């Protein structure tokens, strides 16, 4: 009798007065892992938003996707003139144009992906309260959409490598490791800062300052070997250092400086997991705060 009554109550909770099934969505409190099953169920929306970002990236522009090459190329030329010709920064015997090109391409991707991902929830605020879907889609969308720009800008590296007659070596086999690190960094930062930006709009201003500072905190315009030995471990905790040094070693055929790379690998994983945990914890209050 008790079991029958319990079943009746459960059925009443799942159905409305017309007998139709009703799905009740409740916020999850506490620290939660990423629900990959839920993301897979909403993969059509995920793909649509990524494709939308790709299409509108250079919509109504004259040069279109050529900007994906021009923006990093102009930056490389400026760095070459200022730091290569004027300041004469040591590059371990590598031509400065080639040296900076290998660093600027991944840095451009990471900086743009971080900036857009950190503001993704604020930008799409109107959609948050209309229908339920995994909010994690928003900060991840620009991280994936910007890979198109990155793929196009790789043409710069191919052209520069051909000009300087740089041939691929076995180091190229390690490149996928640094590509994954390159994606982890903006994904982790984007999830963390997008969740903070919902409550604190200062994040937008802080992010602009942070991107400018990170240019000089990573070996983009200079060599990591110029850092004194006693500071190298602390310096290498910056995951961008590992990405830049890894790209240089893989594409230029130099020895891979693992002492600069493995601390950044750990940091990038911690950043990704920490950003995901914090995002999931704050997800339940997004609609109320926005």
| Spatial separation of the C-alpha atoms in residues 227 and 232, rounded to whole Å | 6
Ramachandran angles phi, psi of 15, nearest 5° = -125, 150
pLDDT at 47: 85
pLDDT at 40: 78
The pair of three-digit structure tokens given for residue 165, joined into one six-digit string: 């007659």
| Spatial separation of the C-alpha atoms in residues 143 and 31, rounded to whole Å | 23
pLDDT at 290: 65
Q: Is the dihedral of CA 165, 171, 176, 178 positive or negative?
A: negative
pLDDT at 9: 42
Ranges under pLDDT 70 in the chain: 1-36, 59-64, 129, 287-290
The answer, as to whether pTM is greater than 0.75, is: yes
Q: What's the pLDDT tens digit per position in 26-84?
A: 555 555 566 667 777 777 877 888 888 877 777 666 666 777 788 888 989 999 999 88
pLDDT at 7: 47
| Spatial separation of the C-alpha atoms in residues 279 and 115, rounded to whole Å | 16
| Spatial separation of the C-alpha atoms in residues 66 and 58, rounded to whole Å | 9
Asked if 188 and 274 count as a contact pair (C-beta separation under 8 A), the reply is yes
pLDDT at 18: 53
β partners of residue 15: 21
């Amino acid at each position: 009798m008790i079991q029958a009554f319990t079943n009746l109550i459960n059925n009443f909770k799942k159905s409305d007065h017309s007998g139709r099934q009703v799905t009740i969505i409740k916020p999850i409190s506490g620290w939660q892992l990423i629900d990959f099953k839920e993301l897979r169920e909403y993969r059509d929306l995920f793909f649509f938003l990524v494709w939308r970002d790709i299409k509108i990236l250079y919509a109504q522009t004259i040069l279109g996707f050529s900007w994906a090459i021009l923006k990093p190329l102009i930056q490389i030329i400026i760095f070459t003139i200022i730091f290569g010709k004027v300041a004469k920064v040591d590059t371990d015997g590598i031509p400065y144009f080639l040296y900076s090109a290998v660093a600027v391409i991944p840095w451009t991707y990471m900086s743009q992906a971080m900036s857009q991902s950190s503001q993704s929830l604020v930008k799409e605020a109107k959609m948050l309260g209309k229908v339920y879907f995994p909010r994690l889609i928003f900060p991840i969308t620009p991280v994936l959409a910007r890979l198109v720009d990155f793929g196009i800008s790789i043409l710069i590296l191919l052209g520069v490598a051909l000009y300087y007659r740089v041939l691929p070596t076995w180091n190229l086999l390690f490149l996928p490791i640094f590509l994954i690190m390159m994606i982890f960094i903006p994904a982790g930062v984007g999830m963390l800062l997008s969740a903070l930006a919902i409550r604190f709009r200062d994040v937008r201003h802080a992010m602009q300052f942070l991107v400018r500072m990170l240019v000089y905190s990573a070996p983009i315009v200079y060599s990591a070997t110029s850092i004194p030995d006693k500071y190298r471990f602390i310096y290498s905790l910056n995951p961008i250092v590992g990405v830049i040094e890894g790209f240089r070693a893989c594409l230029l055929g130099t020895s891979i400086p693992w002492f600069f790379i493995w601390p950044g690998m750990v940091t990038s994983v911690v950043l990704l997991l920490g950003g995901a945990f914090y995002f999931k914890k704050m997800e339940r209050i997004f609609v109320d705060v926005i």
